Amino acid sequence: MAGRSGGVVSMWDPSIFKVHDSIKHPNFLLTLGTLKGSNKAINIINVYAPQKVPKRALWEDIGGGLMGSFPGWWVILGDFNAVRSREERKISNFNKKCASLFNNFIFDNRLREYEMKGKKFTYHKDNDNKHSKIDRVLVCNDFFSEWLVACLRAIPKLLSDHCPLVLTCADKNFGPKPFRFFNSWLERKDFDEMVNKAAVRFYGGGEPDVVLMHKLKGTREAIKT
């Protein structure tokens, strides 16, 4: 906390996230822990980067310092006070160098960003005349791959001039993977024979769609061998 503003608070549900350690910094709070059930290590950095803070040094502290020192997945979120492009500011000063440093930090550390729904900007000032997207959630590739259908949404602001961000991660079961056919398989001289043998080999019963699914799976495995 600096004066009457500038502090960060991190909270978690102990039934979902088990905290092992934390590291405090004037501009971020790192929480290290594991997900209950999967025991996957996730490191969460809650960022507050005031405008006067040298961004290059801060990005190096996070990327070159912390991310290279601890194993596990990474989630970096909060008020970065930086944008990635001119389109992320409206009636507000755009600093090309600051944006370039921020983008380099994201690219160098292989971070990903979910498309934000609900609003285009997260910060509104002077009776909503000035807008900018300076709040965001960045995640590592492994986290992004685990929750491809996660939803990031900006919800209406209340007491603050920043819009809260909500990242919803849910495992969705879309059923079995679709059957894929490659034209190169047709070049095999024994293609017809392989397909016929694979189809006849399966004798399982059940619903017709389930039987077809198993036949296609067996056919694919036979062709790939």
- Tell me the CATH class for 17-168: alpha beta
> What angle separates helix 208-224 from helix 191-201, to the nearest 10 degrees?
140
In a structure prediction context, what are the per-residue pLDDT tens digits for the chain, which is 225 residues long?
A: 455 555 789 999 999 999 999 999 999 999 999 998 888 999 999 999 988 899 999 999 999 889 989 999 999 999 999 999 999 999 888 999 999 999 999 999 999 999 999 999 999 886 768 899 999 999 999 999 889 889 999 998 888 889 999 999 876 555 555 666 667 777 777 778 877 777 676 655 566 666 677 777 777 776 666
Q: Distance between CA 64 and CA 73 in Å, rounded?
A: 15
Furthest-apart CA atoms within the chain: distance in Å: 78
Q: Count Cβ atoms within 10 A of the Cβ of residue 145 and give its class: 0-12 exposed, 13-18 middle, 19 or more buried.
A: exposed
For the chain, the structural domain boundaries read 17-168, 183-224
